[in-house]
Each structure stands twice: as C-alpha cells, then as structure tokens.
Amino acid sequence: MKPSENDSKSRAGFFLSGSYKSGMKKAATMLVVVVFLVMSVFSGKDALCSDGLPQPAEKFFHASIIHALAITPDGKFALSAGNDRTPRLWDIATGGMVGFFSGHTDTVLCLAITPDGKFALSGSRDATLKLWDIAARKEIWTLRGHSKSVTSAAITPDGKFALSGSVDYTLRLWDIARGKEIRIFTGHSKMVLAVALTPDGKYALSGGKDKVIKLWDIATGKEIRAFTGLDKPVLAIAVTPDGKYAVSGGKDSIVRVWDIASGKEIKALLGHTDAVSYLAVTPDGKHMLSAGIDGAVIVWDVSSGKKIAQFIGHREPVLAAALTPDGKYALSGGYDSRILMWEVSTGKSVDSNK
C-alpha cells in the first residue's frame, strides 16, 4: 500500500484538531513574521550570535513552532528545530543562541545527538536527514532514501548508526561514518511517527498511525513482535535504561508502560487531557517525562505510575522536550516558540536569564 496524500502531512498534524490547527497556523505565521521583522532591524555585533544570525530579543526564543529538542551529553548546549527549517544551538546556562545549521528546505521534525556530543542529526519534511558537525556548524552528510517526511530519529549507543522513521511507512538504518543506508524495515501499514532504541543498541521500537508498536532486530531488520490493543495513533516512544520496558504515548492522551519481552501492557498512566507528543525516562530509571498538546509537561514515578510534578508555563501545545544527562532538568518547547527550562524534582521553572 502506498502512502496517501493525507499521509504527507507533518507529524505535528496528528497532535491537533482541525479547528485548532487552522487558527494556530495563522497565529503562528503572524508571530514568526513579526519576530523576524523586529530582528531584521538589529545591527552590530551585540545583536548577532556567533554565526551571524540575529539574536532573539528573548532568551531561548526560537521564533518558530518548535518540533524537536535535544541536549548535548555534557549538558552545556541544546538544539531546537521547527518550522523555520533551521536547527539552532543554545547555551543552556545563559539561554543565548550561539549558532545555527542551515540546509533543510522544509520543517525539521526531529533531532538526535551522537553520544560523544560531536555530531547532530536532523530529520525533515524535505524527506532527508542531515548530519552536522556541532562545533563547526557544518553539514557532513545528507542522507537520502525516504520518499516522504522524516518524523523521528535515534542514534545507537555506540554512535555508529542512526535509525529513522518516516511518513513513507518505513524505518531506515544508516551508517553515520559513511553516510550510507544499510537496510530498510518494512511492516507498518501507515506512517511511522516515533522510533526508539534499546540501551544495548540491538533492538528498535517504532509506532505510528497504524496504532501498533513494533519491536525490531537491528542486525537483521526483522520484526520480532507487535504490541497491539491501541485504538489511537502512537506519537512517542521511550525505553527504560535497563531495557526491560517501553513507554508509549499518543492521541488517546494515555502514557502506557509495556513489557518489551512479552509485548504486554502493564500500566496506563492518566494525566494528560490531549495527545501525548513526547516521552523520556530519566537516566536512573526512576522517573518519566511526558509532554502533550494540552500544554502540560508531567513527571511520573515509574514504579508507582503516580504523577509527582507538572510544569506549568507554556501557553500552547508542547511538541518537544529533552532531559539533561543527569536527569535533573528538562527543556520543553512547542507552538509558543519558547524553550522553557524546568527542575524535574519540583516542576519549578529555571530562569536561564539570570
């Protein structure tokens, strides 16, 4: 079965209702235009980041709907990406923009960073992935193979391979050093919207519009099992550090915990009032972070399934988030174009401008 025309829409299109998307699209467009008009009058070195792009008047302000966030392994820098097609690099300590990566021709939907912190991977609606040298802010490879939007990406723990998911219904494995496609994973009957890797890098999980989560053998590309029973599309997947459990979220607004070995659901967490767009598990495996279209960012206790904190600050849907390597802080972003920083244990906002 070939992807339909409706399947060519971006991953974010599955998060929002039609009326909300229409109104917000107009509002967001107007906001971006106004911001760039204001930025265009800036002059002088003080108004520019290190790469020459005008600094936003507000710290941690992307000036575009944010679809993806990632944090470097040393916890010093963050990447954001979205509708403006240009991933941006931020100093977490100050909230100031220090660089950007130009090359995509359409919305950037996903980001990943190699374990050594040297390279970043971005996936876009232009159907490509790009590998970037973070320090030099230069493109290394453009990875071509998907026929439609790249919605999700992950990098293996050894930093050698990247996995991507796409609106074209496939997952693809890439050799990062050579910039070459290694194999294609087929089995989903509709677009793939989320991918994740187990900590040992041997297995992958994927989910999407067909309402099924699939477990794959990375070495062979073969499907091992399917996690079924869902009645809404899957938008986010994460794996616990011990590799035993998968966490999923989707349009049904429920965070679900699965036993990877059996494919059985073992827990359902209720707290969001709209689609769950992002999931992560802290490095110690004790807490989960979820973000949603309801504008909420929630911290959960993994063992009990109880909500222990909720971040309140975004005015619009949250499409992306990221945890610092120590699991103590989180960044979140979405339709309001702001990147907010939170203390995970308390849910309190951290002011990066101080």
Going from the N-terminus, what domains does the chain have, and what CATH number goes with each?
10-346 (2.130.10.10)
For residue 52, what pLDDT band results from cuts at 50, 70 and 90? low
Name the residue among 283, 274, 271 with its Cα closest to residue 319: 274
Any idea which of 54-58, 174-178, 266-270 has the lowest mean pLDDT? 54-58
Longest dimension (CA), the chain: 60
Task: Name beta bridge partners: 156.
Answer: none
pLDDT band at 268; cut points 50, 70, 90: very high
Q: Rounded mean pLDDT of 110-136?
A: 98
Q: Is the dihedral of CA 168, 164, 124, 231 positive or negative?
A: positive
Cβ atoms of 342 and 297 closer than 8 Å: yes
The per-residue pLDDT for 338 is: 95
- Asked if residue 42 has pLDDT above 50, the reply is no
pLDDT digit string, tens, across residues 284-312: 999 999 999 999 999 999 999 999 999 98
Sign of the C-alpha dihedral computed for residues 91, 116, 239 and 166 taken in this order: positive
Separation CA 349–CA 329 (nearest Å): 10
Residues whose CB falls within 8 Å of the CB of residue 174, separated by 6 or more in sequence, listed in order: 129, 143, 145, 161, 162, 163, 164, 180, 181, 182
Quickly list DSSP for 98-165.
Answer: EEE----SS-EEEEEE-TTSSEEEEEETTSEEEEEETTTTEEEEEEE--SS-EEEEEE-TTSSEEEEE
Beta-carbon count within 10 A of 5 CB: 6
Q: Is 70 exceeded by the pLDDT of residue 13?
A: no
How crowded is residue 8: how many other Cβ atoms within 10 Å of its Cβ?
16
Measure the CA–CA gap between 339 and 332, rounded to whole angstroms. Answer: 5
CA distances from 99 to 40, 45, 125 (A): 17, 14, 22
CA dist 124 and 66 (Å) reads 13
pLDDT of amino acid 63: 87
Contacts 24+ apart (CB under 8 A), 160-163: 161/201, 161/218, 162/112, 162/121, 162/129, 162/131, 163/195, 163/197, 163/204, 163/218
Task: Report whether pLDDT(100) > 60.
Answer: yes
Length of the chain: 354
What pLDDT score was predicted for residue 261?
97
Question: Where do we find the tokens 């793939």?
Answer: 192
- Residue 271 reports pLDDT greater than 50: yes
Instruction: Please give the residue that has the higher pLDDT: either 257 or 315.
Output: 257
